[in-house]
Amino acid sequence: MTASFKSAEFVVSAQGRFATASLPLDTPACELCRGRGERLVEVNGNMCVARCRCQKMPDRIALFNQAQIPARHAKASFESFDKDLPDAMTGFLGAYRWVKGFKIGQANRGLVLHGAVGRGKTHLLAAMLRELVFQHGVKVQFVEFTHLLAALKQGFEHGKGQGHTLDPLADIDVLAIDELGKGRNTDWELAVVDELISRRYNGMKTLLATTNYAPGVETGAQANLALDGVQQSLGDRVGDRTFSRLMEMVDFQWVQGEDFRGN
């Protein structure tokens, strides 16, 4: 599968597992450095070699390519989100306003997009990351929760401890967790999400996420069942300790609308 999204400055394509950005093929060589990426500048009366400003976009392209946004969402942007579907605007505006309010170099409160399956939560998450990278030059990382669990298990099989996988995710400027609360909800899975969220909480790092579960403390409802008419909450899926941390770290945005996948 190959798909692409073009802007005046970069092209994003779906190649392999992840979305990949590149410069347009017709990008002219920089007149200042003639394509070398470096040029002489004067600093305090002395001439020195400095990185040319033409490298700003290549640097941001490199950040985007390290983010591991799934290939399926290569075209996901605020512009491509279908805002005309009934009730879709509320979730869109919540995500859009969050990005516009992001402060570089400061502690930023995160955002969790919640709602039913197929409402465009992951599209908005990928759009937020795209904006953070290309507009602000922020280092971001996308991870789907069950894929994270699989990566941890694979690491164990190769003699690598849990920190080998979690350390980079704990330290990245902005971490985006897709499908938070998904999985079998075992004690080990709860311990993984607790460690990751706690480490980002203690490090005052920004967290973004999507989830199919409404924010709330543990209800006691069982998986795939309703208890007295109450469906499982996010607290049921991550535990009250982790949910308490989330309440201090993020705001919650309900993403409504029709099922995108049914259109």
Chain segment 7-62, per-residue pLDDT in tens: 558 999 998 999 999 999 888 888 888 778 877 777 788 878 888 888 899 999 99
Chain segment 137-150, per-residue pLDDT in tens: 999 999 999 999 99
Q: Are residues 18 and 108 in the same domain?
A: no
65 belongs to a structural domain: no
Q: Of residues 65 and 46, which shows the higher confidence score?
A: 65
Q: Are residues 28 and 87 in the same domain?
A: no
68 belongs to a structural domain: no
Give the whole-number percent of the chain exceeding pLDDT 70: 93
Whether residue 129 has pLDDT greater than 70 = yes
Q: Are residues 223 and 171 in the same domain?
A: yes
Q: Length of the chain, please?
A: 263
Whether residue 107 has pLDDT greater than 50 = yes
Q: Are residues 96 and 49 in the same domain?
A: no
Q: Are residues 158 and 237 in the same domain?
A: yes
| Residue 125: CATH number of its domain | 3.40.50.300
**Rounded Cα gap, residues 127 and 76, in angstroms:** 5
Number of domains in the chain: 2
What pLDDT does residue 30 have?
84
71 belongs to a structural domain: no
Q: Work out the pLDDT band at 226, boundaries 50, 70, 90.
A: very low
149 belongs to a structural domain: yes
207 belongs to a structural domain: yes
> Domain range for residue 190?
76-262
